[in-house]
Amino acid sequence: MGITIYNTLSREKEDFIPLNPPFVGMYVCGPTVYGDSHLGHARSYTVFDVLYRHLKWSGYKVRYVQNITDVGHLTGDTDDGSDKIAKQAVLERKEPVEIAYKYEVSYFDDMKKLNILNPDISCRATGHIIEMIEHIQALIEKGYAYVTDQNNIYFEVRKFKDYGKLSGRVLEETKSGERINIAGDKRNSEDFALWKAADNSHLMKWNSPWGVGYPGWHIECSVMSKKYIGETLDIHGGGIDNVFPHHECEIAQSEALTGKPFIRYFIHNNMLTVNGTKMGKSLGNFIILKDLFKEIEPMVLRFYILQSHYRSVLDFSKDSMNAAKVGFDRMRNSIFSLYKKTKDRKSEGTFRDVDEIFSQFIQAMDDDFNTPIAISVIYELLKLSNTELNKTDSDINKLTYISEKITIMTDDILGIQFNTIEAGVKNHEDQLISFLIEMRKQYRAEKNFKMSDTIRDSLKEMGITLKDGAAETAYTID
């Protein structure tokens, strides 16, 4: 049995058959880099990281392309508002390119903490303006796009008969629903911008055959996916909020030009809510990863995300996060005991009961990447491991075999690392801080306040704050 994937295009689970096996071309819409990454990013990119890992583990040669949106994404998400990056640049008194690079670095930094592998190609929209102009020019020549008297260029949606095949929206609905946002020079309300003319005050603009302007948001993904993968992609991923208008528009732009199917499997992760409501800056429940990582280990967040299936809504709350931490620690303790026992060993032969559990794990992953089931199977294998560990004559070869399978399941496929962190044992940094706290305690007992204050102040300078309690001294790290 091979891999099955729920395809948003057909709304069904389908057998996964890439265009040119064993090669797989996978494109996932990347972040718009105008602020630090939030919980929604963590979910989406963890999901696609696991997909990427599982496909690779299954023997596919995957090229994973992810874009960086550094121009064209407007605050209104359609064709209205100002550019998100340019707006942030004004706020921070920086150049747009400084903003884009700052938050791109910040994004990859957060993704690394979550043990998310880098894509094979990370490409920036601003590096592909020439290709975008070529693509738009070809759409105009084919009659799918038009230039207005204001030098804006729109895709004429009515000319593309398959519009709506992904989102299920029919044109009339779109028309009435989006009427409020009609730009003055569009022929029809549903038409979307491929290129917009820029006035002098605009911070990011390029020369084009239609004068100075900047690209619309959707065009970059059609152009960069074609450049780095081809006219037909095996997998295109993104958050469910990208289905409309972004992915619907991508299909129109790409298929109108090539006449070929743009995507074989469209995969969308469901949304993330916070305490039952949509997360939003204006709602006051917006969670930035850098803030969250001060409270929880990134690996616990990854574990938490994967406990839900990617097509379910994930509702984040402190309580459910703490419950996940308990489960994570239980798993970590069991795995640590196993690794301690089997360190530096290699197994010989196979064990049928272990293989059976392992194949259940693979089956769960093959079945539309069912990570919650896969995680429950790991618990099953750990039960077997604990039973073996508790025997007086435990079979070290079997334990080694189990530990090798656990490494594949956790490190390789789910990307959850347990073996680097020793359960119940503090890391070196914690040990050093504890040692300094102990020294400070002694100085204080000797009434050597000069030394005890030096320790406290030096730690403070390093971002480590000591808090003296009644019984002991606790600390926080910024």
Q: Output the smallest distance, CB 126 to Zn ion, in A.
A: 15
The span from the CA of 87 to the CA of 99, in Å, is 10
Between the alpha carbon of residue 155 and those of residues 144, 193, 254, the distances in Å are: 6, 6, 11
Q: Output the smallest distance, CB 29 to Zn ion, in A.
A: 3
Q: Output the smallest distance, CB 246 to Zn ion, in A.
A: 5
Identify which of 1, 121, 110 has the alpha carbon closest to the alpha carbon of residue 52: 121
Q: Residues 2 to 31: which contact Zn ion by CB under 5 A? A: 29
Q: Which stretch binds Zn ion (CB under 5 A): 44-52, 221-229, 448-456, 459-467?
A: 221-229
Q: Output the smallest distance, CB 218 to Zn ion, in A.
A: 7
Phi and psi of 51, rounded to 5°? -60, -45
Q: Output the smallest distance, CB 175 to Zn ion, in A.
A: 24
Between the alpha carbon of residue 177 and those of residues 149, 173, 248, the distances in Å are: 26, 6, 15
Q: Which stretch binds Zn ion (CB under 5 A): 74-82, 120-128, 213-221, 356-364?
A: 213-221
Q: Output the smallest distance, CB 266 to Zn ion, in A.
A: 12
Between 5 and 28, name the residue whose CB sits nearer to Zn ion.
28
The span from the CA of 208 to the CA of 194, in Å, is 12
The region, left, alpha or beta by phi > 0 then psi within -120 to 50, assigned to residue 463 is left
Between 120 and 356, name the residue whose CB sits nearer to Zn ion.
120
Q: Residues 364 to 393: which contact Zn ion by CB under 5 A? A: none
Between 192 and 418, name the residue whose CB sits nearer to Zn ion.
192
Between 219 and 375, name the residue whose CB sits nearer to Zn ion.
219
DSSP structure string for 410-431: IIIII----TTS-TTS--HHHH
- Beta 61-68 vs 121-124: how paired, if at all? parallel
Q: Residues 28 to 87: which contact Zn ion by CB under 5 A? A: 29
Q: Which stretch binds Zn ion (CB under 5 A): 80-88, 206-214, 217-225, 429-437?
A: 217-225
Reply yes or no: is the peptide bond before residue 245 cis, omega within 30 of 0: yes
Between 233 and 378, name the residue whose CB sits nearer to Zn ion.
233
Q: Output the smallest distance, CB 219 to Zn ion, in A.
A: 10
Between 213 and 216, name the residue whose CB sits nearer to Zn ion.
216
Q: Output the smallest distance, CB 165 to Zn ion, in A.
A: 17
Between 160 and 262, name the residue whose CB sits nearer to Zn ion.
262
Q: Output the smallest distance, CB 54 to Zn ion, in A.
A: 22
- Per CB under 5 A, 132 contacts Zn ion: no
Reply yes or no: is the peptide bond before residue 22 cis, omega within 30 of 0: yes
Q: Output the smallest distance, CB 174 to Zn ion, in A.
A: 19
Q: Which stretch binds Zn ion (CB under 5 A): 43-51, 195-203, 214-222, 281-289?
A: 214-222
Pair 192, 218: CB distance under 8 Å = yes
Q: Output the smallest distance, CB 245 to Zn ion, in A.
A: 11
Identify which of 270, 305, 317, 321 has the alpha carbon closest to the alpha carbon of residue 414: 305
Q: Residues 161 to 190: which contact Zn ion by CB under 5 A? A: none
Q: Which stretch binds Zn ion (CB under 5 A): 70-78, 84-92, 219-227, 470-478?
A: 219-227
Residue 7 host element (H or E):
strand 4-7
Q: Which stretch binds Zn ion (CB under 5 A): 44-52, 177-185, 216-224, 293-301?
A: 216-224
Between the alpha carbon of residue 154 and those of residues 159, 187, 195, 274, the distances in Å are: 12, 9, 7, 37
* Binding-residue total with Zn ion (CB under 5 A): 2
The span from the CA of 129 to the CA of 68, in Å, is 13
Between 186 and 268, name the residue whose CB sits nearer to Zn ion.
268
Between 121 and 373, name the residue whose CB sits nearer to Zn ion.
121
Which residue in the set 42, 74, 221, 229 belongs to the binding site for Zn ion (CB under 5 A)? Answer: 221
Write out 54-84 in H/E/C secondary structure. HHHHCCCEEEEEEEEECCCCECCCCCCCCEH
Between 43 and 302, name the residue whose CB sits nearer to Zn ion.
43
Between 221 and 416, name the residue whose CB sits nearer to Zn ion.
221
The region, left, alpha or beta by phi > 0 then psi within -120 to 50, assigned to residue 232 is beta
Between 213 and 245, name the residue whose CB sits nearer to Zn ion.
245
Phi and psi of 197, rounded to 5°? -70, 145
Cα angle 357, 395, 354 (rounded to 5 degrees) comes to 10
Cα maximum dimension of the chain: 87
Between the alpha carbon of residue 258 and those of residues 231, 255, 334, 450, the distances in Å are: 7, 5, 53, 75
Q: Tokens for 245?
A: 């208008």
Q: Output the smallest distance, CB 369 to Zn ion, in A.
A: 21
Residue 217 has what DSSP assignment?
A: S
Residues that bind Zn ion (CB under 5 A): 29, 221
